[in-house]
C-alpha cells in the first residue's frame, strides 16, 4: 500500500513538468500501489505528449542522396513533439550545405536541422547529441531504412512504462559460456522478443534506440576509447555503456525487428561487414578487457528470470 505523501509527490512532479522523475517514482512504487498505476494511466497521453524528444542520426556521402527518405519517414511519425537532427562530418562535406541534395535541404525546419561535427564515424548518430542535449531523451535512428509511422510511438510507450531502461525495437541476446565468457556473436540468439529489461539484451541501432537522461556510463563520450576499442562498432560501445551504468535494455512489446531498406544502401552495411570479417568478436573482447565488470553484470542477467 502507498501513502498520501507518495501520491502527492507524484502529482506534484507531473504539475512541475518533471515527467522523467515522475515516471521513475511512479514505476518504482506502483507494484504495491494501485493508485499510482492509475496516475500513470490517467496522465499517459499528457506525459507522452509533453516530453520533448531528440531523434538523432548521421549519414555520409555515399548515402546522402537518399537520406531525405529516412528524414521524411521520421517527420511523418504519429508522435509530433520531436526535434530531428542529422549530424554530418565537416571533413566529408567541405562545402557544407552546398554539398547536400536539394531534397534534403528542403526539409530543414523547426522540426529538422542539419548540424556539423567532427568525423567520429557512426558514433556521430549519438555522441554530438549527448554533448548538446544531455538532459533530453535521445532516440537514435539509422540512415538506410524507412521507419513505419508508429515506430516512435512504440518506443515512447515502452519508455513510459519502464523509464529506467533503454528501449529498442530490435535486440540480440548475448550468450555466456560455462566459464562466464561471452561466446562468438554468431552463436547469440537473434531478434529476441522477450520484453523484460536485461543487461544481456544487445540493442541493434537499425531498429532505433531510446536513451533516457543519464542512462549511459560517464565514459561514453571518451572518443579516445571508443575509436581505439571499437571504431567500427558503435552499437557495441553504447551497449557496454548501458551495462556499466547499471541500465538494462528493454525490447519494445510487439515492436519492429524488420524494416524497409532503402535501395542501394546495403552494399557497405557496417554491421554485416563486422560479422563477416569477425570484427564484432574482436571489438567486444577489447571492450570487455577494458571493462571486466560488464561480465559480472551479464552473469547476473543469465542467472535471472527477469
- Interhelix angle 279-290/293-303, nearest 10 degrees: 110
Angle at 201 between CA 45 and CA 52, to 5 degrees: 30
- For residue 156, count CB atoms less than 10 angstroms from its CB and return exposed for 0-12, middle for 13-18, buried for 19 or more: buried
State the pLDDT at residue 213.
Answer: 94
Are the CB atoms for 179 and 278 separated by under 8 Å?
no
Are the CB atoms for 131 and 221 separated by under 8 Å?
yes
Mean pLDDT over the full length of the chain: 89
Distance CA 182, CA 298 (A): 9
Q: Which residues contact 12 (CB under 8 A, 6 or more apart)?
A: none
Distance CA 2, CA 33 (A): 5
Does 28 have pLDDT greater than 70?
Answer: no
Query: Is the C-alpha dihedral spanning 13, 56, 104, 142 positive or negative?
Result: negative
With helix as H, strand as E and coil as C, how does 224-250 read?
HHHHHHHCCCHHHHHHHHHHHCCCCEE
Angle at 278 between CA 277 and CA 284, to 5 degrees: 140
Other C-beta atoms lying within 10 Å of the C-beta of residue 213: 14
Dig out the grid coordinates for 141 from the structure.
535512428
Q: Looking at residues 173-181, what average pLDDT do you find?
A: 93
The reported pTM is 0.89
Does 3 have pLDDT greater than 80?
Answer: no
Q: Which CATH architecture has domain 51-303?
A: Alpha-Beta Complex (3.90)
Paired strand residues for 198:
249
Ranges of CATH 3.90.550.10 domains, the chain: 51-303
Q: Which residues contact 241 (CB under 8 A, 6 or more apart)?
A: 216, 217, 219, 220
Query: Which stretch of 13-22, 117-126, 127-136, 217-226 has the lowest confidence by average pLDDT?
Result: 13-22
Dig out the grid coordinates for 17 from the structure.
513538468
pLDDT tens digit sequence for 58-104: 999 999 999 999 999 999 999 888 999 999 999 999 999 999 999 99
State the pLDDT at residue 196.
Answer: 92
Distance CA 304, CA 306 (A): 5
Band of pLDDT at residue 257, cut at 50, 70 and 90: confident
Q: Looking at residues 208-229, what average pLDDT do you find?
A: 98
Provide the b/e sequence for 120-144 (b: ≥16 CB within 10 Å).
bbbbbbbbbbbeebeebbbbbbbbb
Distance CA 69, CA 261 (A): 11
pLDDT top residue among 23 and 119? 119
Amino acid at each position: 500500500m502507498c501513502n498520501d505523501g507518495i501520491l502527492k509527490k507524484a502529482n506534484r512532479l507531473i504539475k512541475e513538468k518533471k515527467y522523467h522523475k515522475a515516471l521513475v517514482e511512479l514505476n518504482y512504487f506502483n507494484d504495491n500501489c494501485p493508485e499510482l498505476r492509475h496516475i500513470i494511466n490517467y496522465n499517459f497521453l499528457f506525459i507522452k505528449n509533453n516530453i520533448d524528444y531528440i531523434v538523432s542520426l548521421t549519414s555520409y556521402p555515399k548515402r546522402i542522396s537518399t537520406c531525405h527518405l529516412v528524414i521524411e519517414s521520421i517527420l511523418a511519425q504519429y508522435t509530433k513533439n520531436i526535434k530531428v537532427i542529422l549530424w554530418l562530418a565537416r571533413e566529408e562535406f567541405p562545402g557544407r550545405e552546398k554539398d547536400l541534395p536539394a531534397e534534403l535541404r528542403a526539409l530543414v525546419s523547426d522540426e529538422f536541422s542539419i548540424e556539423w561535427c567532427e568525423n567520429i564515424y557512426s558514433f556521430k548518430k549519438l555522441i554530438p547529441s549527448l554533448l548538446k542535449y544531455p538532459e533530453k531523451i535521445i532516440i537514435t535512428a539509422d540512415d538506410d531504412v524507412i521507419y513505419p509511422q508508429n515506430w516512435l510511438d512504440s518506443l515512447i510507450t515502452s519508455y513510459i512504462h519502464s523509464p529506467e531502461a533503454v528501449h529498442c525495437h530490435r535486440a540480440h541476446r548475448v550468450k555466456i559460456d560455462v566459464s562466464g565468457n561471452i561466446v562468438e556473436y554468431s552463436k547469440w540468439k537473434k531478434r529476441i522478443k522477450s520484453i523484460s529489461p536485461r543487461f544481456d539484451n544487445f540493442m541493434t541501432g537499425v531498429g532505433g534506440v531510446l536513451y533516457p537522461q543519464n542512462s549511459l556510463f560517464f565514459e561514453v563520450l571518451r572518443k579516445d576509447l571508443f575509436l581505439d576499442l571499437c571504431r567500427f562498432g558503435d552499437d557495441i560501445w553504447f551497449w557496454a555503456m548501458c551495462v556499466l551504468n547499471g541500465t538494462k535494455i528493454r525490447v519494445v512489446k510487439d515492436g519492429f525487428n524488420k524494416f524497409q531498406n532503402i535501395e542501394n544502401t546495403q552494399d557497405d552495411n557496417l554491421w554485416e561487414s563486422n560479422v563477416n570479417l569477425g570484427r564484432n568478436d574482436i571489438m567486444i573482447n577489447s571492450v570487455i578487457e577494458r571493462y571486466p565488470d560488464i561480465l559480472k553484470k551479464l552473469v547476473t542477467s543469465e542467472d535471472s528470470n527477469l
